[in-house]
């Protein structure tokens, strides 16, 4: 993969090494298998699309491809509401990330009781807590991605920072 952009900053972990501990802890917390990894990547891909960040969209698209997900499913994440490729549980997860990252209609909560109830219908308490942490995890990485502008990569093993 050819990278044409240049990151705005060097790897922040070089200056704040605790970032590696935070990142590892977040991945441990969301890696408890209560929510399928594919669902996590769908949620993270949708978050990247919402904030318009190439790094996050390329990275999570790469994860989904490596997991054997179809191009139709990957491509349809941006229009998941009317796409036939997602389970009801995945739809609830995608709705949660959208509600969390997008402004609420005037006078309404971002995550309504109805949306929470729909998510709780598909996820037990541990899974719902894990999914909530996964949405917080991507929120944490959004700041690094949009401010630092790391190189778009489809693997965390690739060089992301100049």
Element (H, E) at 99: helix 88-101
The reply to whether 75 falls in a domain is yes
Q: What residues contact residue 161 under an 8 Å CB cut-off, 6+ apart?
A: 7, 9, 10, 11, 12, 148, 150, 151
**pLDDT tens track for 112-160:** 999 999 999 999 999 999 999 999 999 999 999 999 999 888 887 788 8
For the domain that residue 86 is a member of, what is the CATH number? 1.20.1290.10
- Domains held by the chain: number: 1
The reply to whether 31 falls in a domain is no
Tell me the pLDDT band of 104, cut-offs 50, 70 and 90.
confident
**pLDDT tens track for 37-49:** 999 999 999 999 9
The reply to whether 134 falls in a domain is yes
The reply to whether 26 falls in a domain is no
The reply to whether 20 falls in a domain is no
Q: CB atoms < 10 A from the CB of 55, how many?
A: 22
User: Can you give the length of the chain in residues?
Assistant: 162
The reply to whether 14 falls in a domain is no
Q: At what angle do helices 37-51 and 54-66 cross, to 10 degrees?
A: 160
| Domain housing 141 | 36-148
The reply to whether 18 falls in a domain is no
The reply to whether 159 falls in a domain is no
Q: Which residue in 31, 1, 19, 32 sits closest to 143, CA to CA?
A: 19
For 11, 15, 97, 117, the CA distances from 152, given in Å and listed in that order, are: 14, 21, 22, 36
Burial level of 103, CB count in 10 A (0-12/13-18/19+)?
exposed
């Amino acid at each position: 993969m050819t990278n044409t952009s240049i990151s705005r900053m060097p790897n922040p972990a070089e200056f704040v090494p605790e970032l590696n501990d935070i990142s590892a802890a977040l991945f441990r917390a969301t890696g408890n298998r209560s929510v399928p990894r594919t669902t996590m990547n769908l949620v993270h891909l949708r978050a990247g699309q919402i904030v318009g960040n190439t790094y996050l969209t390329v990275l999570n698209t790469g994860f989904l491809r490596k997991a054997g997900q179809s191009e139709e499913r990957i491509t349809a994440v941006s229009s998941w509401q009317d796409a036939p490729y997602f389970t009801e549980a995945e739809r609830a997860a995608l709705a949660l990330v959208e509600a969390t990252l997008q402004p609420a209609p005037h006078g309404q909560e971002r995550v309504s009781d109805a949306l929470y109830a729909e998510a709780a219908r598909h996820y037990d308490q541990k899974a719902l807590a894990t999914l909530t942490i996964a949405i917080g995890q991507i929120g944490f990485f959004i700041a690094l991605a949009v401010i630092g502008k790391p190189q778009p990569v489809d693997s965390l093993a690739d060089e992301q920072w100049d």
